[in-house]
Amino acid sequence: MQRPRGQRHLRFAPLAASLAIAFASAPAASAEIRKGPFLQALGQTGVTVKLELATPEAATVEIEGPGGFKASRASESAKRFHALRVDGLSPASTYTYRVTAGGAQSAPAQFTTAPADNRPFRFVVYGDSRSDPSTHAAVARMIESAPGDFFVHTGDMVYDGADEEEWQELFTIERKLLANRCAFVAIGNHELTSPDPKGQITFLRYFAATENDGRERPHLYGSFRWSNTRFFLLNAMDTWTGDEKEWLRAELAAALDEPGLQHRVAVLHHGPFSSGRHGGNVRLKKQGIVDLMRDHKVDLLFAGHDHVYERGEGQGIKYIVSGGAGAPLYRRENSAPETQAFEATHHFLEVAVDGEKVDVVARRASGAVIEQCGFKGTESWSCKTGDAKAAPKPPAAAAGSSSSCACQVPGGSSSLPGWPLGLAASLVLALRRVLRRTSEVDA
């Protein structure tokens, strides 16, 4: 149910007063690096360090690693957004880096390159981090301590892909996360702003998929390999009648003969199976995409879109819906026959891959375990229940799904040290956004 406008304003009045006091007493910050530095296109021998400045400046990244390795890359000109590519790194090696721009210097951060062999690895999955900065920040704090070599995001990072304030909020909350681990992202419907391309352009600037040599792809889909697993990052909101379908067909066919490959994982925002509000993505089934993935040995699929945790298996593909990183929660509104577990809770996933075996620990925002599941090869899920502690009830506003969402189908401050101040800034942005929206539409 929509909250009356006056009540919504009153709800945030104490927050506004507190933030005003905090900013009045906070020390001045240079605020030159607004977004980042953050990692992209991380592979065996290279990485791209990105950052966005408040004003046009030259930028330099310096990297140090094993055996006395040192490298430095500088921008060719003064500008606000920088993508600094560093190659010549060694596989499975940890490096420290920092960025200097306009007299400001970022705190040191670390990353580890992809392995050249098929050693065990870990990663963290989360999605639908939009709309509620306090919940998003709570989940992000838990993810900071979760083991993992990189992140997989299932889309809807922000509410409006064309809104600069939304992106600033994301990068403020996830500053530490994105500085130390690369996020591989599947675009969500809220990043898309068709027919206006601004959302897509902004998404590609920050989180474009890459080719094997580190070059960015000017497409909303791509793939990457880590150890014995190839990931396919897809634009689920596509019509699946054109280029993306043919690209996926070719990529899946090539992966059948890829040496040492044991797992194929699809990541897309709106998946084919769900018992949540949106249900399954009917276009994927109608256009034969689910059959295409099954026939080409895709054994696991991560999705979002419905703001829940859900696990199941359909048409020979195991899947998890992970849309619980901040957006208001959804009730179970369907009874998909593929569903094996369902909980409306804010959460994230810890995934471990070791040879044929894949293990997943689903954790609530509190850190409590929802369930632990795994499989080996083509086997079905094998699970055990999580903590005996009952799942927390969603907040009243979330249970009523007061998020504003107009789901569309295409074609149809400071980021330098000073986290408390940065979080306050993100809350101010959230307050401004809520106050300017006078009507909200559920989706």
Percent of the chain with pLDDT over 90: 76
Cα–Cα distance measured from residue 434 to residue 130, given in angstroms and rounded to the nearest whole number? 13
pLDDT tens-digit series, residues 313-329: 999 999 999 999 999 99
With a CB cutoff of 8 Å and minimum separation 6, the contacts of 300 are 263, 264, 265, 266, 317, 318, 319, 320, 358
Strand stretches in 283-423, DSSP E: 300-303, 309-314, 317-322, 339-343, 347-354, 357-364, 369-376, 382-385
Query: Can you give the pLDDT at residue 404?
Result: 44
Please determine, for residue 441, whether its predicted confidence score (pLDDT) is greater than 70: no
Query: Can you give the pLDDT at residue 407?
Result: 55
Q: How many CA atoms within 13 Å lie on the side-chain side of 121?
A: 21
Cα–Cα distance measured from residue 395 to residue 360, given in angstroms and rounded to the nearest whole number? 26
Please determine, for residue 406, whether its predicted confidence score (pLDDT) is greater than 60: no
pLDDT band at 32 (very low <50, low <70, confident <90, very high): confident
Of 385, 391, 396, 383, the C-alpha closest to 366 is: 391
Cα–Cα distance measured from residue 340 to residue 280, given in angstroms and rounded to the nearest whole number? 15
Query: Can you give the pLDDT at residue 427?
Result: 47
Query: Can you give the pLDDT at residue 103?
Result: 85
Q: Are 303 and 269 in contact (CB under 8 A)?
A: yes
- The first and second tokens of residue 158, run together, are 């922000």
Please determine, for residue 425, whether its predicted confidence score (pLDDT) is greater than 70: no
Please determine, for residue 53, whether its predicted confidence score (pLDDT) is greater than 90: yes
pLDDT band at 388 (very low <50, low <70, confident <90, very high): low
Query: Can you give the pLDDT at residue 433?
Result: 52
Query: Can you give the pLDDT at residue 227?
Result: 98
| Mean pLDDT over each residue of the chain, to the nearest integer | 85
pLDDT band at 362 (very low <50, low <70, confident <90, very high): very high
Q: Which of 10-24, 223-237, 240-254, 378-392 has the lowest mean pLDDT?
A: 10-24
* Torsional class of 373: left (φ above 0), alpha (ψ -120 to 50), beta (otherwise): beta
